[in-house]
Amino acid sequence: MKLPDNLGTAPFFIVLNAGSGNEEAAARRSTIEEVMNRSGRAFTLRVVEDPARLDAITDELTRQAVASGGILVAAGGDGTINTVAGKAVDAGCPFGVLPQGTFNYFGRAHGIPEDLELAVQALLASRLQPVQVGLVNDRIFLVNASIGLYPQIIEEREADTKQFGRSRVVALLSMLKTALGRTQYLRIGLDEGGKTRTMRTAVLFVGNNSFQMERLGIEPLSSALEDGKLAAIAPRSVGRLGMMGLMLRGAIGKLGGARNLVAFSFETLTVKQRTLYGTRKKIKVATDGEIRQLDTPLRFSVLKDQLLLMKPDSVMTEEQAAA
């Protein structure tokens, strides 16, 4: 994979997800344009107002970035970042991030500021660094992928944020509400390096983000991600209150000490869902907050150094930016 020679002057091609509304998107666009114009750097900015147009607009900017030796940039939450990153991986072009989501795990793991003006300034001063991505079947994920309860939590969270607004508090309360509801358990077969096991669990969570693992309190899995592996977490059958207890432990960063938890790292993993009628052909999978139906069995693997990320050397503070 050939890296561009003119990285310091390469144009940016920015995909901005309008998110919750046009007024907020207009403010974000104005901030990006102001900082970019002040820097004198060439850029193209497209605002995605209709989510159904995200793929098409990203494809268009990806072609422009490849043709001009430019850098493809995602401005949005983890779902938007996932979509744009997938195009960058396929095209082999450099990729930048302006995090604008609720949790911003990918940006925080790589030291990218959550403040938009600081993030744009950091992007202008970033260096290229290949980073690892996860793969489930043919879908990449930067933060996590999961089946079972977690996709349900995401669906409920999206409904609640539309009603109560997007915040981390709303997301946490929505998660606890879902945990107290009816839990459907999965019976899955796990094949890791020729070793097969069967387990009953409400959720299988596969992580590719060291920052998220640290926040959950699972330090060994955080270290494993730095060694080119993925992290798998699955609670045993613990009941409704037990599941809520595990979620609360995760919320306060103490999940690593839980007894009723299976946690391990891997490079490749095959997952089959078993039912009374054999194995299910499709299953609902959440990848970086986006939910899709994927064919089974699910095959998880690592793509090492396949994403060429524009990563800042250090995080700029607001005081430094104003100086």
pLDDT tens sequence across 200-217: 998 999 999 999 999 899
Higher pLDDT, 136 or 219: 136
Map residue 62 onto helix, strand or coil.
helix
Give the structural domain span for 94: 12-131+306-322
Residue 182 in this model has a pLDDT that exceeds 70:
no
Residue 24 CB: number of other CB atoms within 10 A?
A: 12
Q: Which two tokens stand for residue 283?
A: 């299953």
Query: What total of structural domains would you count in the chain?
Result: 2
The average pLDDT across 292-304 equals: 94
Residue 103: inside a domain:
yes
Statement to judge: residues 243 and 149 lie in one domain: yes
Q: Is the pTM of this model over 0.75?
A: yes
Statement to judge: residues 311 and 265 lie in one domain: no
CA separation for the pair 44, 61 (Å, rounded): 8
| Residue-wise pLDDT tens digits, 184-200 | 789 999 999 888 999 99
Residue 59: inside a domain:
yes
Statement to judge: residues 155 and 267 lie in one domain: yes
Residue 92 CB: number of other CB atoms within 10 A?
A: 13
Residue 134 in this model has a pLDDT that exceeds 80:
yes
Question: What pLDDT is recorded for position 314?
Answer: 64
Q: What is the DSSP string of 144-177?
A: EEEEEHHHHHHHHHHHHHHHH-S-HHHHHHHHHH
| Residue-wise pLDDT tens digits, 241-296 | 777 778 778 878 888 878 889 999 999 999 998 775 655 688 999 999 899 999 99
Residue 319 in this model has a pLDDT that exceeds 60:
no
Statement to judge: residues 65 and 174 lie in one domain: no
β-strand pairing of 71-76 with 95-99:
parallel
Residue 50: inside a domain:
yes
Statement to judge: residues 176 and 203 lie in one domain: yes
CA–CA distances in Å: residue 24 to residues 16, 17, 29:
11, 10, 9
Statement to judge: residues 216 and 251 lie in one domain: yes
Statement to judge: residues 170 and 212 lie in one domain: yes
Question: What pLDDT is recorded for position 318?
Answer: 42
Residue 296: inside a domain:
no
Question: What pLDDT is recorded for position 322?
Answer: 41
Residue 31 CB: number of other CB atoms within 10 A?
A: 17
CB-facing half-sphere around the CA of 49: CA atoms within 13 A: 5
Question: What pLDDT is recorded for position 127?
Answer: 93
Statement to judge: residues 157 and 77 lie in one domain: no
Statement to judge: residues 89 and 220 lie in one domain: no
Statement to judge: residues 160 and 283 lie in one domain: yes
Domain of residue 188, CATH code:
2.60.200.40
Residue 295: inside a domain:
no
Statement to judge: residues 220 and 257 lie in one domain: yes
Q: Name the residue among 202, 200, 206, 242 with its Cα closest to residue 221.
A: 206
Domain of residue 19, CATH code:
3.40.50.10330
Residue 2: inside a domain:
no
Statement to judge: residues 114 and 153 lie in one domain: no
Burial of 322 (0-12, 13-18, 19+ CB in 10 A): exposed
CB of 189 closer than 8 Å to CB of 274: yes
Question: What's phi and psi for 172, nearest 5 deg?
Answer: -65, -45
Question: What pLDDT is recorded for position 321?
Answer: 40
Residue 3: inside a domain:
no
Q: Which value, to the nearest 10 degrees, does the dihedral of the CA atoms of residues 227, 198, 272, 275 take?
A: -160
For the chain, the C-alpha Rg in angstroms (whole number) is 20
CA separation for the pair 102, 175 (Å, rounded): 14
Residue 5: inside a domain:
no
Q: Mark out the alpha helices in the chain (DSSP H runs).
A: 22-39, 54-68, 78-91, 105-109, 116-124, 149-164, 168-179, 210-216, 219-226, 239-251, 318-322
Q: What is the DSSP string of 78-102?
A: HHHHHHHHHHHHHHT--EEEEE-SS
